[in-house]
Amino acid sequence: MENVVELKGVTKAFKGFSVDDINLEVKRGFITGFVGANGAGKSTTIKMMMNLLKPDHGEVKVFGLDYKTNEKEIKERIGFVYDGNVFYEGLNLKDIKQIVAPAYKQWDDELFNYYIDRFDLPLNKAMKKLSKGMQMKASLAIALSHHAELIIMDEPTAGLDPIFRREFLDLLQELMIDSNRTIFFSSHITTDLDRIADYIAFIQDGELVVNQSIEEVAENYAIVKGELELLDQDTEKAFVEVRRASTGFEALTNNLKEVNDIFGDSVVIENATLEDIMYYLRKGGVHHV
């Protein structure tokens, strides 16, 4: 399967925080959700994917190309949708189109008009007067109008109301009918990713701790409940993190097969949601990609 983005050993240090040795692959034709708590390093990583920030070490490749020699081609093929006002806030979509269209070889006026219609976007209203959801849709319309193969979105659903959020997610899913398209989007709302992501990349304190398909996550991760006497130094190794209470233990495993081998029917196993995984990994110290 082809990787649209490849980060190898990517590191970026700020005072008091670093994104450390990130190895991440984004597969063509799928939606990858990039999840992590506030301040985990999602935006920093995305900026490096977009060449808006240079890594201290490591390699960033997009479409197999390097920014040093192919920046223009890469940028032509990416649509970047991010939180906040991308465009001059006083401008309306008609003006923005005039500015943006000539910058892209593949700009498609017909498609732009289609999405303006489809998303119910006003052409003559200043961007700053649109709601946050409408601004997101406007950015997406522009990305789609230049036939972007890779759409990168930083927190596109943050601050959207639940209905609008769901509509937006449905729309993303619909866009995937085009099998050449890839979507990479960050969020700290795990339920959004549960709904639509095919792959999950999970960053915690600047480290990538999970990069798996949603099926692999479901196969490997689970919540395990049982009696305290089942735990000892050896059996605990099957868990990422264990919580003990007087009534028994509850733990997260990233190796469900091992848990089945060790404990058999003596424990209760439940599916782990992304929120469970995020919660337990945050507490636990074991890191696996």
Determine which helix (DSSP H) or strand (DSSP E) holds 162, and give its type and residue range.
helix 162-175
Amino acid identity at 217 = V
- On whether the CB atoms of residues 197 and 203 are closer than 8 A, the answer is no
Nearer CB in complex with ligand ATP: 155/250: 155
Number of alpha helices (DSSP H) and beta strands (DSSP E) in the chain: 10, 14
Nearer CB in complex with ligand ATP: 262/274: 274
Question: How many CA within 13 A on the CB side of residue 52?
Answer: 11
At closest approach, how far in Å is the CB of 16 from ligand ATP? Answer: 7
At closest approach, how far in Å is the CB of 24 from ligand ATP? Answer: 14
Cα 199 from Cα 8, distance rounded (Å): 18
Sheet holding 268-271, edge to edge: 241-245, 248-253, 222-226, 268-271
At closest approach, how far in Å is the CB of 85 from ligand ATP? Answer: 16
At closest approach, how far in Å is the CB of 233 from ligand ATP? Answer: 35
CB atoms within 10 A of CB 174: 9
What token pair was written down for 141? 């319309």
Cα 180 from Cα 189, distance rounded (Å): 26
Nearer CB in complex with ligand ATP: 53/65: 53
At closest approach, how far in Å is the CB of 43 from ligand ATP? Answer: 3
**CA 199, chain centre distance (Å):** 9
Cα 278 from Cα 232, distance rounded (Å): 24
Nearer CB in complex with ligand ATP: 39/90: 39
Nearer CB in complex with ligand ATP: 49/142: 49
At closest approach, how far in Å is the CB of 22 from ligand ATP? Answer: 11
- Residues of this chain that interact with ligand ATP (CB under 6 A) are 14, 17, 36, 38-44, 188
Nearer CB in complex with ligand ATP: 203/217: 203
Task: Collect all residues with Cβ–Cβ distance below 8 Å to 5 and sequence separation of at least 6.
Answer: 24, 25, 26, 49, 60, 61, 62, 150, 184
Nearer CB in complex with ligand ATP: 9/159: 159
At closest approach, how far in Å is the CB of 40 from ligand ATP? Answer: 4
At closest approach, how far in Å is the CB of 284 from ligand ATP? Answer: 19
Question: How many CA within 13 A on the CB side of residue 197?
Answer: 29
Nearer CB in complex with ligand ATP: 14/88: 14
